[in-house]
Amino acid sequence: MPDPEPGPPAEGDRICARESGGVPVPEEGLGESRPSPRSPGSVRPRSSGTWSGSPGVWGPSGGRYLGLGSRKEPAGAQGPSLSGGRPLGPVSMGAPRTLLLALAAGLAAARPPNIVLIFADDLGYGDLGCYGHPSSTTPNLDQLAAGGLRFTDFYVPVSLCTPSRAALLTGRLPVRMGMYPGVLVPSSRGGLPLEEVTLAEVLAAQGYLTGMAGKWHLGVGPEGAFLPPHQGFHRFLGIPYSHDQGPCQNLTCFPPDTPCDGGCDQGLVPIPLLANLSVEAQPPWLPGLEARYIAFARDLMADAQRQDRPFFLYYASHHTHYPQFSGQSFAERSGRGPFGDSLMELDAAVGALMTAIGDLGLLEETLVIFTADNGPETMRMSRGGCSGLLRCGKGTTYEGGVREPALAFWPGHITPGVTHELSSSLDLLPTLAALAGAPLPNVTLDGFDLSPLLLGTGKSPRQSLFFYPSYPDEVRGVFAVRSGKYKAHFFTQGSAHSETTPDPACHASSSLTAHEPPLLYDLSEDPGENYNLLGGVAKATPEVLQAMKQLQLLKAQLDASVTFGPSQVARGEDPNLQICCQPSCTPHPACCHCPDPHA
């Protein structure tokens, strides 16, 4: 056996055990008990149009949604605009982009599915019950896994918020569009370039009613130029960046009055809640935020049904990103601390979305996909999530940073089960476009159509995966490559996001290191990346040597073919671009405060 790399194999076990202290809360009120992760087909939602995971219940209190859906969020909700004048309202796609995404000559023979894409934040591979966590209360997600397809080898190309979200919505490597290095901030001049074609634009051109609720984090820009209404979304309710990118020391994260942990980013405006391009509140009442998103989602679905058109909902939850928050029904209820309470509310939101779909009789007409942007932020310790047996977490190219839980649910179309096929968030745009009968944008895509895998008619066409660091450059190019069961690390670098693990290779003190030969792992036998096949005294087998050569060739080919777009982050910052509900007020930015009427 080759010598192990530094760091004990049981890293994930220790993290999960540390986080799971306390007795799990009984699941009454959240639906049926969690099915065994070893029995993915043991429980399946009924085809009668009801959701068996959480029928009509929102939270352990047994209350009906706690008011969710009781308040309509109009498409053009009026409030203070970004510029302080008339609300700008939603912006339609420009003519050149409409032509680029012109409808195919004939519509798909079958009605295209409604699509709900749920994107969690900083969620680890080992955080869900259906992925083996011993005490997470996630019955609705477990039910989704039991009745759908659970992915074991689903990845993101970069383990950081901004680039991961750009990849999800465009099907392109983030470096191609300049979404590097690091993340965008409230005062960033840059954002997702408007010439990029998003999944929302592809589907809107196909007749979908498109809406987004939650975290954007792909730039604001002058007059909100980069916000969702300019990127193909007819409706938007959410926060334009991470909810920690503003002062939070005076915010309530758990009712009635538990403050948010830490101070978050100081010297910035309070985080705004936007309805399209108008400010609804600054800051919003965090414990009530998920309920407002669910109400928005229910209205979108119902309006699409009334208009006899399909809908696309991008539900980008803030859970489980730090600082965690939740409503009253979940505070101190999970047995896993604030992180578990946040995760519990995320799970209940999934149940509420599924119930909304069922209430409209659309379960068999709606494809639901769940995944997350990157691995856990282990520097937060018990507030940072769990990567299970995988190495490291957010900010690294190790498995704990880039491998994500992923579920696909579509009764009558997707057979319940588990797939070990390689897949990526990059694949969602071409896959969903194919299912919707939509033409692909005329750009270089890095994703593949996985619809044969979802529908059980074939395998994943994806044979390889490429992973970039949070701060990439064209000289080094790709840091890690996976092909089949083998993964090679040509460069490694730790991250502050992955502090506190027992493995020093994860930490920020682990500087950028080139590996020649690369670190090579057989992920089918060693998913924790503990045993370098080229690092021991034993002679490498011909198969291993051939795998190394293949991975080196793949890296060389991709590096030669990818042109880095101009960095959007490097465009710098302008404090005047920070969204303020009272732009002419003083002293700035502290005066940017508009009370939330729902607090």
Q: Are 370 and 407 in contact (CB under 8 A)?
A: yes
Residue 480 CB neighbours (<10 A): 28
pLDDT digits (tens, 9 = 90+) for 173-190: 999 999 999 999 999 999
Q: Are 539 and 2 in contact (CB under 8 A)?
A: no
- In a domain, residue 589? The reply is yes
- In a domain, residue 14? The reply is no
Q: Calculate the dihedral angle through the C-alpha atoms of 484, 488, 493, 499, rounding to the nearest 10 degrees.
A: 50
Q: What pLDDT does 268 receive? A: 86
**How far apart are alpha carbons 563 and 507 in whole angstroms?**
30
Q: Are 246 and 344 in contact (CB under 8 A)?
A: no
- In a domain, residue 5? The reply is no
For the chain, the domain total comes to 1
pLDDT digits (tens, 9 = 90+) for 106-129: 334 478 999 999 999 999 999 999
**How far apart are alpha carbons 156 and 401 in whole angstroms?**
9
**Domain enclosing residue 371, as ranges:** 112-599
Say how many CA atoms lie within 13 Å of 246 toward its Cβ. 25
Where residue 587 falls among pLDDT bands split at 50, 70, 90? confident
Secondary structure (DSSP) of 127-148: -SGGGT-SS---HHHHHHHHHS
Strand partners, 211: 235, 313
* Nearest in space to 512 (alpha carbons), one of 533, 531, 534, 490: 490
Question: Is 497 an active-site residue?
Answer: no
CATH code of residue 210? 3.40.720.10
pLDDT digits (tens, 9 = 90+) for 5-33: 433 333 333 345 434 333 222 222 222 23
User: Phi and psi (nearest 5°) for 79?
Assistant: -170, -175
Q: What is the arithmetic mean of pLDDT over 411-423?
A: 98
Where residue 51 falls among pLDDT bands split at 50, 70, 90? low
Cβ neighbourhood burial of 89 (10 Å; 0-12, 13-18, 19+): middle
- In a domain, residue 46? The reply is no
Q: Are 218 and 236 in contact (CB under 8 A)?
A: no
pTM listed for this prediction: 0.85
In this predicted structure, the answer to whether residue 374 has a pLDDT above a threshold of 80 is yes
In the block, residue with structure tokens 């040597």: 545
pLDDT-above-70 percentage for the chain: 81
Catalytic hit among 130, 133, 217, 506: 217
In this predicted structure, the answer to whether residue 67 has a pLDDT above a threshold of 70 is no
pLDDT digits (tens, 9 = 90+) for 561-577: 999 999 999 999 999 99
DSSP 8-state symbol, 207: T
- In a domain, residue 242? The reply is yes
* Nearest in space to 227 (alpha carbons), one of 81, 353, 85: 81
- In a domain, residue 52? The reply is no
Strand partners, 556: none
Where residue 598 falls among pLDDT bands split at 50, 70, 90? confident
In the block, residue with structure tokens 């047995």: 335
Q: What pLDDT does 590 receive? A: 80
Where residue 379 falls among pLDDT bands split at 50, 70, 90? low
Catalytic hit among 16, 130, 161, 386: 161
* Nearest in space to 317 (alpha carbons), one of 286, 293, 351: 293
- The mean of the pLDDT values for the chain is 84
pLDDT digits (tens, 9 = 90+) for 235-286: 999 999 999 999 988 899 999 999 998 778 877 899 999 999 999 999 999 9
Q: What is the arithmetic mean of pLDDT over 93-112?
A: 44
How far CA 412 is from CA of 71, 105, 409, 438, 452, in Å, comes to: 33, 28, 9, 22, 15
**How far apart are alpha carbons 170 and 428 in whole angstroms?**
9
Secondary structure (DSSP) of 153-185: EEE-SSSSHHHHHHHHHHSS-GGGGT--SS---
**How far apart are alpha carbons 362 and 398 in whole angstroms?**
39
Q: What pLDDT does 599 receive? A: 80
Q: What pLDDT does 46 receive? A: 29
**How far apart are alpha carbons 546 and 455 in whole angstroms?**
33
Question: Is 161 an active-site residue?
Answer: yes
Question: Which of 185-199, 332-346, 499-513 is predicted with the least confidence, judged by mean pLDDT?
Answer: 499-513
In this predicted structure, the answer to whether residue 327 has a pLDDT above a threshold of 80 is yes
- In a domain, residue 58? The reply is no
In this predicted structure, the answer to whether residue 52 has a pLDDT above a threshold of 80 is no
**How far apart are alpha carbons 175 and 476 in whole angstroms?**
13
Q: What is the arithmetic mean of pLDDT over 206-218?
A: 99
- In a domain, residue 80? The reply is no
In this predicted structure, the answer to whether residue 82 has a pLDDT above a threshold of 80 is no
Q: Does residue 499 or residue 11 have the better pLDDT?
A: 499
Strand partners, 372: 120
